[in-house]
Structure formats: structure tokens, C-alpha cells
């Protein structure tokens, strides 16, 4: 493994993997159930990420906001990554 891969793994291990997985799951479920346009997914992720961070830290501060936005960014990457893989697989099979 190269150094960039190791630093990514370290970031994943240090961050709260469960929290951004939860944000990604919520966003993915809402996107599939309501067909929210792609342009609203980042804002939706930030709102959900910050709300979950407020619940996790039991209050609001700059660190909570930072954590919520960080979780939202990871969740956005995961949701769009999953959608990309699904579309790529679907196009490959047709």
C-alpha cells in the first residue's frame, strides 16, 4: 500500500465511521423514497449530519458543527459512490 492509502485508512479509523454511515443511510433512503433532486443532497446531508452531531455531543458548538459537516461530506461521497457503482453496473449489464 502506498502512503496515501494508509493516510485514508487512518482517517477512516479515527473518525466516527458509524455516524457518517448513519448519515449516508438516511440520505440514501430519503433520496430513494422521495426522489429528491441531486442538487439538494449536499444540503440534506449537512442538515442530517449536524442534527446527529448535536444529538451525539448533547449540545451545539463549533466542534459539533465541524463534526456534522465532516460526517455529511463523507456521507455525500458514499451515497454518490454507491449510486455511481450501481449505474455503472447497470450500464455494463445492458
Given a cut of 60, whether residue 86 has pLDDT beyond it is yes
In angstroms, the Cα distances linking 34 to 26, 54, 61, 78, 86 are 12, 25, 31, 19, 18
Over residues 18-64, the pLDDT tens digits come to 777 888 888 888 888 988 888 888 898 899 989 988 988 889 999 98
Q: What percent of the chain has pLDDT over 70?
A: 81
Domain count, the chain: 1
Domain assignment of residue 26, given as a range: 3-93
| Among 56, 93, 77, 37, CA closest to 65 | 56
Tell me the average pLDDT across 8-20.
Answer: 63
Kindly report the pTM of this predicted structure.
Answer: 0.69
Amino acid at each position: 500500500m502506498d502512503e496515501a492509502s494508509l493516510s485514508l485508512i487512518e482517517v477512516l479509523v479515527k473518525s466516527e465511521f458509524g455516524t457518517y454511515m448513519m448519515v449516508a443511510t438516511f440520505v440514501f433512503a430519503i433520496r430513494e423514497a422521495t426522489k429528491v433532486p441531486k442538487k439538494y443532497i449536499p444540503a440534506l446531508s449537512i442538515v442530517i449530519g449536524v442534527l446527529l452531531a448535536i444529538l451525539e455531543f448533547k449540545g451545539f458548538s463549533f466542534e459539533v458543527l465541524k463534526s456534522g459537516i465532516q460526517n455529511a461530506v463523507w456521507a455525500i461521497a458514499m451515497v454518490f459512490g454507491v449510486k455511481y457503482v450501481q449505474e455503472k453496473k447497470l450500464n455494463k449489464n445492458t
